[in-house]
Structures are given as C-alpha cells and as structure tokens.
Amino acid sequence: MLTRTSTQSLTGQLADRLAERIRTRLLPPGARLPSVRECARQQGVSPYTVVAASDQLLAQGLIEARRQRGFYVRDSAPAQESRTPPNSAPMVMQMMASRVPADASSLIRSMFHRPSDKPQPGMGVFPPDWMSSTFMPTAVRRMTSTAVLQELSLQYGEPAGDMSLRRSLSQKLVGINVPAAPDQIITTIGATHALDIVSRTLLRAGDPVMVEEPGWALEFARLEALGMRILPVPRRADGPDLEVMAQYCALHQPKLFVSVSVLHNPTGYSLTPGSAHRVLKLANEYDFHIVEDDTYSHLAPEHATRLSALDGLQRTIYVSGFAKILAPNWRIGFLAAPPALKERLLETKLLATLTSPTLFERALSWCIDQGQLRRHSERVRIRLDGARGQAVKLAMSHGCTFASEPTGLFGWVDTGVDTDALTQRMLDQGYLLAPGSLFHARRPPRTMMRINFATSQDATFWKVFSKVRDEL
C-alpha cells in the first residue's frame, strides 16, 4: 500500500504504481481509470493526490482526459481497419472479434515478474516446488560428460529435432492412440512455438481462423498479431458449438481450427467422441486443418478423446510440450503432423530457429524412456487432486460458483462481479487474477475468473478476495 513514511511522495508513489500497470498492460489501452473520488477511496489518499498523480501520467503521455468521461489509458497503436466482411449473417457477425485482449501479455509477464511473494491464483503454471525432482539433474549430468557435451554442443542438431527424442515421443503417443512415426514429429521451443509454426505455415494475413471461446488469451493475441481474422467458437461441455462452426465454414471458408480437446483452458472441459466425429466431418467437408493443443496431456487420462487419434493425423496437427509439467526453462515442445505437411512445417522452423537445443532434448528422451516423466506426472496429479478439493471448498465458502466441473489445473469461477475491476483492486493487495474477459476475443466485461488450483489454497487470499469483492 501507499505509505507516508516513504522517501517518495504519495503522489509519486501513486503515479508510479499506475504507470507500471500501464507499461505492463495490466491496465490495457482504452481502459478507464477509476474516478478521482473512487481512486482516492481505494488508495486511502486525498482527491488532490489522485489529481496530481493523474497530471504526472498525462505529462508522460500514458493517459488521456476525455471531456466529462474521466481518464483513459492511451492507445499508442495505430488504428486497424475493420475486417468485418459484408453480407455476413448477423448472429455470426456478433461473435466475430473486433479486437483481441490488449493485456494478454500481462499473464505471461506475471510468470517472470510476480506482483508479490504471495500465492498467485491467476498464474498459468505449477509452483516451482511442485516440479522439483532428482531425476532431472541426473538426466542433465548424463548429457554433460565431456565427450557427449562436445558432440551435442559443437555442431547444429538435426533440423527436425533429436532423433532419440522423436522416437521416445512416437512411443509415448502410442499410449494415447495418436499414430505418429518419428519422421512425422518436429521438436520446437515449447508448445507455443509449435502453434506459431503451424500458423505461419498454413495461414496468410487476413485468413479466417476459428478459435474456441473462452480460450487461451495468448492465442487470440498471437493470431491477431499475425493479421488473422479470429472467428470465436463457443466452447461447450461436450466440445465446440458445431452450429456456429458450420455457419463460419459456409460464410468464411476458414483455413484452420485451433482446439484444446482435453482439459480445456480455462473451463476444464473435455471433448466427447460424438462431438469429435462431427468436428472432423466439418473439416473434411469444408477442407480446413485442425491444430489440437494438448498442453495438459500429462494431467489427463490416456483414454480421453483426442481429435488426432480419431483422425489419424490426416487433417489434424497434434501439439504438446513439457513446460507445464516438467521444466519450463528447457523450452521443449513438439508437433506431430500429416506426412504431406511435415516438410513445409520444418521449413518454417528452419527459417525461425535453424534447429532446437539437442542437449536438453536428449535429456528429456532419457526421462521419458526411463519412466521418470510418467512417475513424476502421477505424483503431480495426486497432489493436484488434493489441492483442487481444498481450493473448491474455499472458493465456494466465499460465495463463488463453478461454471464447469472442476477438473485439471484450472477452475472457471463465477465471482458475481466485474472481474476486470476486481483484478485492479486485488493488485493493490499483491494478488494477480486472471479475469474472464481475457479469455474472450472481444474482451466484454465478465464476472468469471480463472483460478489455478495449485496456487489457490491460501485461505488469506480468499478472505482478501471476499472483502475487496464486497466493496465493489
């Protein structure tokens, strides 16, 4: 909180706090700042202090005053032309994105710069102590003996990735019925890199892309940055809204559908076989590809329905990685693709990164082959089950409800208030939330928020949350 014992004035402290949130996009372009009176009440300062801090932000060009409407965060990006196509059905057009979350990067930034040392329910990863192990150092030591280290470090690795890892991944995919030979697999610098390779290979600026909504905030922002037209498809408990998909297909001929079939982020939903068959039927009828993001595969049962298993990697491209479950900084992901697309996808990887780090890929291969990754994943799943039960009890005891059955790493929680406003207030208390608007292409106000079950067991957080929410 702001303090009068600081060597900096209250005005300077408040201006710096707001400036930092603007620069890190926790206050996105176009966001309205609280009124002078409301901000004074929230921060425990006088209206004069708020006005003086606003003057400093105005002088820095971070905000702008709008006559009789208050202060707004300036949008320094050039205005984009509307890509709304003419003659489109009203229902479909209402669901098309006019802009993406301007602060999608705030969740990513929070992974590197936490607002405090408190547990952060808005985080998208496991706490470091959950992933600590003894087998990872062993794997690295095996790869850093003098001879092996020189072999793996003093020359470029294979463009498609280390063959031993690709063989290990091929065998691992057999367990979930995804038929991928080692030659169909390309390793990447994390799963996000794999998604980017697919987008850059199959799409051109202006192409329409169907993306599930609610969905991963970074995916909306990434595709928009590439100049794609985002077509949000509502995600239901059994899978995507097939009626909306069919209308998009008839009107816009989309080139790609991005889907999280299992333990969907943020809802936790998993695809049913019936819905999966109908999605694949649409893909064949309208000639589009499906990229299946299975980032949370390590937390899911092997028998869960996956499009890539049913399709046999004909129209599907399977993407996954190991940052969420094993080693975020090893940055290892991969994609498994139809043979006809493999060389095009590999060329895109070559143009961007040449190759990927063989040393860590070889270490990961050892972890998989020795069963270490499987046993580690089982331990994490057991721990997560306990954490989920505790977090659900705390959330419900503080007046929240769950919009979907709590499963996997994330909970989709209804707070009953505007979570954009709630997020700004909770930042003052040292907590970063993931507001529901982040997971929608248009960013409408939402009462939903996503919580991470692994970081939402702190009773103190829920007490603060309840108090701040009741003050809104």
Enumerate the domain spans of the chain: 10-73, 104-130+375-471, 132-370
Domain 104-130+375-471: homologous superfamily in CATH: Aspartate Aminotransferase, domain 1 (3.90.1150.10)
Distance separating alpha carbons of residues 185 and 169, to the nearest angstrom: 8
Burial of 412 (0-12, 13-18, 19+ CB in 10 A): buried
pLDDT digits (tens, 9 = 90+) for 39-71: 888 888 899 999 999 999 999 999 999 888 889
Count of Cβ atoms closer than 10 Å to residue 87 Cβ: 6
Residue 432, classed as helix, strand or coil, is: coil
Q: Are 318 and 184 in contact (CB under 8 A)?
A: no
Which CATH number is associated with domain 10-73?
1.10.10.10
pLDDT score recorded for residue 145: 80
- The total number of residues written for the chain in this structure: 472
Q: Are 451 and 265 in contact (CB under 8 A)?
A: no
- Give me the DSSP letters along 33-54: PPPHHHHHHHHTS-HHHHHHHH
Strand partners, 290: 257, 316
pLDDT digits (tens, 9 = 90+) for 86-97: 444 433 433 333
- Give me the DSSP letters along 246-263: HHHHHHH--SEEEE--SS
pLDDT category at 157 given cuts 50, 70, 90 is confident
pLDDT score recorded for residue 344: 97
pLDDT digits (tens, 9 = 90+) for 121-155: 999 899 999 999 999 999 999 888 878 888 888 88
pLDDT score recorded for residue 80: 44
pLDDT score recorded for residue 101: 37
Question: In degrees rounded to 5, what are phi and psi of residue 383?
Answer: -65, -40
Give 290's contacts (C-beta < 8 A, 6+ positions apart): 256, 257, 258, 259, 279, 280, 283, 307, 311, 315, 316, 317
In the chain, the percentage of residues whose pLDDT exceeds 70 is 91
For residues 163 and 143, which has the higher predicted lDDT (pLDDT)? 163
Select the CATH number that applies to the domain covering 132-370 from these four: 3.40.640.10, 3.40.630.30, 1.10.540.10, 3.30.540.10: 3.40.640.10
Average pLDDT (154-168) is 93
Question: In degrees rounded to 5, what are phi and psi of residue 427?
Answer: -60, -35
- Across all residues in the chain, what is the average pLDDT? 89
Average pLDDT (160-164) is 96
Strand partners, 289: 256
